[in-house]
Structure 1
Amino acid sequence: MAEQKLGNPAVVGLAGFGLTTLVLQFHNVGWMPSIGPVVWLGLMFGGTAQLIAGLQEMKTGNNFGYCAFTSYGAFWIALCLMLLGNKFDLFKASTTDVGWFLVAWTLFTAILWVGSLRIHGAMAFTFTTLLIGFILLDLAHFGYPSLTVVAGYELMVCALAAWYMMARVILNEIYGKELLPAGKPWIA
């Protein structure tokens, strides 16, 4: 009896990461004044759905995907709970507190960035833009607030790069050929 084919959990992880990151940047650049949609997306799609995708990656033996999706899913949940805590005066976080939270995530991202360089070009590009975005947000929280807008535009590129990888997995499978290439690893 043939083994049943399973879906690739990366498509949901990349979709949740890309969409939630994109919508947060709409807020960061000033296009969307309310943070409300970010909180709800961050809790459900960027957070919970991405976390579940990460746990499913574990079953495929993909440690990179397992670590990335589970961790960034938890990032979105923590960030949104922090925003809600600030709104309702519960365990409030100052701008500097959020800055240190982001610095820790920057360091974490740097580790995954090193790994991404050996996977393929699309992954390396996505993690490079994510790392740059985190660094810009770090600086924005420690005295250079105008960099939030710069980070917003830069992280829109990151979000779209994640969607490219999602589209690549889906469309290459549907069409049975390499419609969207991943590119060679940046480090062999």
Structure 2
Amino acid sequence: MSQIASIDVQSIAAAAKPKLANPAAVGLAGFGLTTFMLQIHNLGLAGIGPVVYLGLFFGGLAQMIAGLQEQKCGNNFGYCAFTSYGCFWIALCAVLLGNKFDVFKSSETDVGWFLVAWTLFSSILWVGSMKVHKAMFATFSTLMVGFVCLDLAHFGAPKELFTTIAAIDLIACAFLAWYMMAGVILNDLWGRPVLPMGKPVL
């Protein structure tokens, strides 16, 4: 009898516990939108202003907050990725603002090494993405290609060509991030896999 009562109490407690939203929806939204806007700028279709503001607030602050919320969900991958790339956008905007206002100015080579460091960091998450699902692996694969192209563009390769290649590739990366964001939202609303993510590569 006591066991039945214990089970009933646990069931009531579980039912009363509110459902937690998935912070990845915001993290992926901020990452995708800010990445997309930067590449539109790199293709010469928009100025740098929207990139800086989005990078500070949506790709930066909002994505970092989403990453911190992933920690509460016990998701090490999301915690590290969203928090880190949120800081990436804030740091990149700080570099742009520093060059604009002559505060701790960064040379072409400085920015190149900044990107190389993030390429090396991203390679670890790229390996980890193989254990998540195919959509995540595709997103990180395009991110790695984009970073490598930007690295080369800052260290002697034809800058315009490799920046353009990176921009096209990273727009695909942004769309993949939005696909995962849409999956998080729609799959939850429909209660079934409306947008499949695919099985892990490994």
TM-score of the pair, normalised by structure 2: 0.91
Q: Which of residues 2, 6, 19 is equivalent to 2:33? A: 19
| 2:164 match | 149
Does residue 5 (structure 1) correspond to residue 19 (structure 2)? The answer is: yes
Aligned residues with identical type, % of pairs:
68
1:73-152 aligned within 5 A? 73-144=86-157, 145-146=159-160, 147-152=162-167
Between structure 1 and structure 2, the one with the greater Rg is: 2
Which residues of structure 2 form unaligned runs of 5+?
1-12
In structure 1, distance between residues paired with 2:61 and 2:169: 25
SS in 2 for 1:143: coil
Counterpart for residue 201 of structure 2: 186
Structure 2: which amino acid aligns with 1:86? N
Instruction: Describe the SS at the equivalent of 1:118.
Output: coil
Q: Which residue of 2 aligns with 1:43?
A: 56
**Residue 49 of structure 1, CA deviation:** 0.2
1:68 aligns with 81
Give the 4+ runs in structure 1 shifted more than 4 A. Answer: none
Q: Which residue of 2 aligns with 1:30?
A: 44
AA matched with 1:8: N
Unaligned runs of 5+ in 1: none
Cα distance in 1 for partners of 2:188, 2:70 equals 18
